[in-house]
Amino acid sequence: MQSRDHRRVAVPSRPLLDSCVRDVLLVRLRVGLGDLLCTVPAVRALRAARPDLHVALATWPEMAPVVARMAPWVDELVPFPGAPGIPERPPDGTLPQWSAAMAARGWDLALQAYGDNPAANAVTAATGARLVGGFAPTGSAGLDPALHLRYPGALHESDRHLRLLEHLGLPPGAPRALEWPSTADDEQEAAGVGLAGSPYAVLHPGATSPSRLWPAERFASVADGLAAAGLRVAVGGVPSEAATTRAVVAASRTPVLDLTGRTSLGAYAVLLRDAAVVVANDTGTAHLTAAVGGRVVTVFLSGDPVRWRHPLEVQTIVRQDVGCNPCPHLTCPIDHRCALRISADRVLAQALQKAGTPARPRPPSVAQ
């Protein structure tokens, strides 16, 4: 994409459908797998409405493997160096250089697609795009209503982004289903893990914050119950979750295959897709299972199911209302009652029921 000298012009009535808007930078700045997966319905709708549009996603460079799976809808990852007020990663001090590089690109439209955070609006404005819009954080003022949508906090994460793009001109009614295209290499790698040929379950006991961790010994009890029902059981996670997955394996009375750090994300997605059931905390694995057409039981603790749950045919949630959840705490400041009041038997019952439901048609894969 060539740099262009933009002059300020009147805001078109439907910016995303205006032919003068030839490229858009979505300022997402997220590090969560679930966050980016929930963006897929919006970028898919954008591609369908404007197949000619160059779509770039500004986020952290380590999210490149996830953005690569969004290639049908996203043309480019723009690595973000961090900024004050964006909590996901500490800034590396190169924001001025990044802003200068963005201005040199001459974006037609930059959209704050981060959320309810004024710092993200400052980052979006710093791109120097000809048109700047996106979410208007709660309490903010002075933002052009033709380009900004007041942050719709009462909607599901996917619907928030669809609503923003509808505000900017896209037609309503776009499909909400998540997607994660699988490759032939993913299928081959997953086949080599050793789970093919018999029904199995996958447990994902990790999460990015302690407030979303259901106790490992209760996951172990679920593993024992699933094994007693005739399922092979595997436990998965990223390397940083190894202590949690080892605790589940150690507490289980039956053999559990530990997949932690042993597969690529693509192969793990295939294993989730083909499992009789996945049992997970409210974390990226639950969203990935939904994206590949699997069946997942999600233990919701501090998280907000209004924002993060998926349709019943995909996901069953187990949650105990304790009066203070959902909450924003990364670590529970009291007794973590939202976790401790959910028994292993309750989750196991839902997992067995979910395992008995028919498999849905597989989503499309990408050729390789």
* ∠ Cα 239 240 243 (to 5°): 90
In the predicted model, what is the mean pLDDT of residues 155-169? 97
Q: Report the C-alpha gap between 118 and 138 in whole angstroms.
A: 9
CA distance 26 to 45: 14
Q: Residue 42: CB partners within 8 Å, gap ≥ 6? A: 113, 158, 161, 162, 164, 165, 174
According to CATH, where is 3.40.50.2000 located in the chain? Answer: 15-167, 184-355
pLDDT at 11: 86
Stated pTM of the model: 0.92
Burial class (CB in 10 A: 0-12, 13-18, 19+), 311: exposed
Q: Which residues pair with residue 112 across a beta bridge?
A: 27, 134
DSSP letter, residue 212:
G
**312 band by pLDDT with thresholds 50, 70 and 90:** confident
The CATH label, of 3.30.465.10, 3.40.50.2000, 3.50.50.60, 3.40.50.300, for the domain at 184-355 is 3.40.50.2000
Tokens of residue 43, six digits: 């970028």
Q: Cα–Cα distance between 202 and 171 in angstroms, integer?
A: 38
The pLDDT-based confidence of 52 (bands split at 50, 70, 90) is very high
CA distance 214 to 347: 11
Provide the H-helix boundaries in 106-215. 118-125, 157-167, 184-191
Any idea which fold 15-167 has? Answer: Rossmann fold (3.40.50)
Q: Which of 219-223, 232-236, 311-315 has the lowest mean pLDDT?
A: 311-315
Nearest to 256 by CA among 279, 226, 280, 278: 226
Distance (Å, rounded) from C-alpha 90 to C-alpha 87?
7
